[in-house]
Chain A
Amino acid sequence: MAALVIAEHDNASIKGATLNTVTAAAQLGEVHVLVAGANAAAAAAAAAQIAGVAKVLHADGGSLADGLAENLAAQVLAVAGGYSHLLFPATASGKNVAPRVAAKLDVAQVSDITRVVSADTFERPIYAGNAVATVQSLDAVKVITVRSTGFDAAAATGGSAAVETVAAAADSGKSTFVGREVTKSDRPELTAAKIIVSGGRALGSSEKFDEVLTPLADKLGAALGASRAAVDAGYAPNDWQVGQTGKIVAPQLYVACGISGAIQHLAGMKDSKVIVAINKDPEAPIFQVADYGLEADLFAAVPELVKTL
């Protein structure tokens, strides 16, 4: 049986996390991709190019314009028959819709898988990543969200899948989209960045956060991240938060500046290839996971680092 990946897209292109989800799905069977949106032909065409995708289902309609959970879940259910696995990227959108689909099918959902053991058995982290559970689904249909850092991205080109148009789901009439405020950024997307420079409460203010960390991020071509403490204090926007309840990242290099390293933060970044910690507190738990630790005042060390690079 085939596996259906529900693509995350902006109607013009496919978002990165979808590519990792395709890799996970390829371990389960023939991969089909659902692109549900409004005027999303470009996104459907992009999905057809992904290596390893056998078929793209394209549903286009006004009800799907803003990714409302009620309508998107109905769309997935409309095409779900015949699929053994339904996979969503474990992003804000995927997490929003997948459980709704699972409950309608009366099946359990497996969240945030990091490894496919077999067609019905998966690994997923629990307790803020302090334990890894191997779970077996006893249901006929497996509804899954895929942690993007657990799987390599499938190649975005090289495929040539057929695009099949399917009818769009009707609007539920129960929810309406009002507006969206997107944080503007020229930087690489946090979850896809190769290098991340991240700051904590020690930065002291949003001005200092910007003044100290931005030059380093610019120099390294890095994305900026933040601890929950820095976000709650208003030094950085919400969607920069790295941790159990924020973004889960696994870049090549993670530079933690003035971050103590609470377990909730470590849950979001401890799979990074190389971790650098700059902190003046020698007892900070971040040093226990850092490959390279520099015990120094970040206000002196970070500018010096920018100069040395």
Chain B
Amino acid sequence: MKILVSVKRVVDYNVKVRVKSDGSGVDIANVKMSMNPFDEIAIEEAVRLKEMGVVTEVLAVSCGVTQCQETLRTAMAIGADRAILVETTEELQPLAVAKLLKALVDREQPDLVILGKQAIDDDNNQTGQMLAALTDLPQATFASKVDVVDGKARVTREIDGGLETIALSLPAVITTDLRLNEPRYVTLPNIMKAKKKPLETIKPEALGVDVTPRLKILKVSEPPKRGAGIKVPDVTALVAKLKNEAKVI
């Protein structure tokens, strides 16, 4: 069985981004970039399924600029067998990525596709669901547990108020939530080995996909700032402030 995992290169989650003064976007020049944390979880899950003998091949895919190769090398150091970069300098929105992934799903015929539930830059939470729709496959979003048995994926999902379990016929699309697993650290020998693994580069046009953005970003601004607060010396003062000044209790 083959798994396709999609990974995105994003601003590292520890970086506090700054909005550009001209309102055109956030400043990501010279900022540390990493693999989207949810995608690390996706790769880890695929590699664990391989280690359990359920899966024979893990294919990592990324869409974006040339530097996404680094993200794919990281995926291969975690344990992906090979990688495909769909290379473009165009701004890619979820619908475009879903279409690119659909073209690759059609070509590669994986039994399972795993994505992160959302990317921490655009915070969209759309691509996995869109891919499932375009390929007409069943979906299990926000997965915290995945079992593949008897040609079905049994997935526990995090929902508002608790957990639910659903069963999907394969092939299927799964998106990962935080608690699915703890991604492993990549080791130096594995980083070296990952350099020798195959990485294919392909253009959106070769896949016959139009990636023109459908949403126009008119402006990016700073969120409203909160006024500076005060420190109170003790509990009595805190209660007095909440009762008399803020009037919230």
- Residues of chain A having any CB pair with chain B under 8 Å: 66, 68-70, 73, 91-93, 95-104, 106-112, 121, 125-139, 172-183, 191, 195, 220, 228, 231-232, 237-239, 244-245, 247, 252-253, 263-264, 270, 273-276, 287, 289-296, 301, 304-305, 308-309
B120 CB–A CB distance under 8 Å: yes
Contact A305 to B235, CB < 8 A, known contacts A92-B158, A127-B121, A175-B169? yes
Contact with A99, one of B13, B126, B140, B221 (Cβ below 8 angstroms)? B126
- State the Cβ distance, B94 to closest chain A Cβ, in Å: 7
Contact with A127, one of B26, B117, B159 (Cβ below 8 angstroms)? B26
Q: Let me know if A220 and B249 touch, CB within 8 A.
A: yes
Q: Let me know if A301 and B167 touch, CB within 8 A.
A: no
Residues of A within 8 A of B238 (CB): 276, 292, 294, 305
- State the Cβ distance, B186 to closest chain A Cβ, in Å: 21
- Residues of chain B having any CB pair with chain A under 8 Å: 11, 13, 16-17, 19, 26, 38, 93-95, 98, 117-118, 120-134, 137-142, 144, 154, 157-169, 172, 177-179, 213-223, 226-227, 229-232, 234-236, 238-239, 241-242, 246, 248-249
Q: Let me know if B218 and A68 touch, CB within 8 A.
A: no
Q: Let me know if A108 and B161 touch, CB within 8 A.
A: no
Q: Let me know if B242 and A287 touch, CB within 8 A.
A: no
Contact with B16, one of A195, A263, A270 (Cβ below 8 angstroms)? A263
Q: Let me know if A293 and B231 touch, CB within 8 A.
A: yes
Contact A69 to B123, CB < 8 A, known contacts A180-B164, A274-B248, A305-B238? no
Cross-chain pairs A/B with CB under 8 angstroms, 12 sampled: A70-B138, A100-B132, A109-B126, A126-B122, A131-B222, A135-B217, A178-B165, A181-B164, A238-B162, A244-B120, A270-B226, A289-B229
Q: Let me know if B223 and A129 touch, CB within 8 A.
A: yes
Contact with A253, one of B169, B172, B242 (Cβ below 8 angstroms)? B242
Residues of B within 8 A of A93 (CB): 159-160
Q: Let me know if B217 and A180 touch, CB within 8 A.
A: no
Q: How far is the CA of A172 from the CA of B139 in the complex (A)?
A: 12
Q: Let me know if A111 and B126 touch, CB within 8 A.
A: yes
Contact A274 to B246, CB < 8 A, known contacts A103-B98, A136-B215, A244-B120? yes
- State the Cβ distance, B9 to closest chain A Cβ, in Å: 15
Q: Let me know if B166 and A111 touch, CB within 8 A.
A: no
| 13 more CB-based (< 8 A) A-B contacts, given A111-B123, A182-B162, A238-B179 | A92-B158, A97-B129, A108-B215, A135-B215, A172-B138, A175-B172, A178-B167, A180-B164, A180-B165, A245-B118, A263-B16, A294-B238, A308-B236
Contact with A69, one of B38, B139, B167, B214 (Cβ below 8 angstroms)? B139
Contact A264 to B13, CB < 8 A, known contacts A132-B222, A133-B220? yes
Contact with A96, one of B17, B38, B129 (Cβ below 8 angstroms)? B129
Q: Let me know if A309 and B168 touch, CB within 8 A.
A: no
Q: Let me know if A92 and B134 touch, CB within 8 A.
A: no
Residues of B within 8 A of A127 (CB): 11, 17, 26, 120-121, 123
Q: How far is the CA of A301 from the CA of B249 in the complex (A)?
A: 17
Q: Give the top 7 A-B pairs by smallest Cβ distance, nearest first.
A: A99-B129, A108-B214, A103-B133, A103-B130, A174-B138, A99-B126, A178-B165
Contact with B95, one of A68, A102, A228, A287 (Cβ below 8 angstroms)? A102
Q: Let me know if B95 and A274 touch, CB within 8 A.
A: no
Q: Let me know if B222 and A239 touch, CB within 8 A.
A: no
Residues of A within 8 A of B169 (CB): 173-175
Q: Smallest CB-CB separation from B246: which chain A residue?
A: A274
Residues of A within 8 A of B160 (CB): 91-93, 191, 239, 247
Contact A110 to B215, CB < 8 A, known contacts A177-B164, A181-B163? yes
Q: Let me know if B123 and A273 touch, CB within 8 A.
A: no
Contact A291 to B246, CB < 8 A, known contacts A127-B17, A138-B216? yes
Interface centre among A112, A237, A291, by most chain B C-beta atoms within 10 angstroms, is A291
Q: How far is the CA of A304 from the CA of B235 in the complex (A)?
A: 7
Contact A291 to B229, CB < 8 A, known contacts A102-B130, A104-B133? yes
- State the Cβ distance, A108 to closest chain B Cβ, in Å: 4
- State the Cβ distance, A128 to closest chain B Cβ, in Å: 6
Contact A178 to B166, CB < 8 A, known contacts A103-B133, A111-B126, A220-B249? yes
Q: How far is the CA of A270 from the CA of B222 in the complex (A)?
A: 14
Q: How far is the CA of A107 from the CA of B214 in the complex (A)?
A: 7
Q: Smallest CB-CB separation from A301: which chain B residue?
A: B235
Q: How far is the CA of A281 from the CA of B131 in the complex (A)?
A: 45
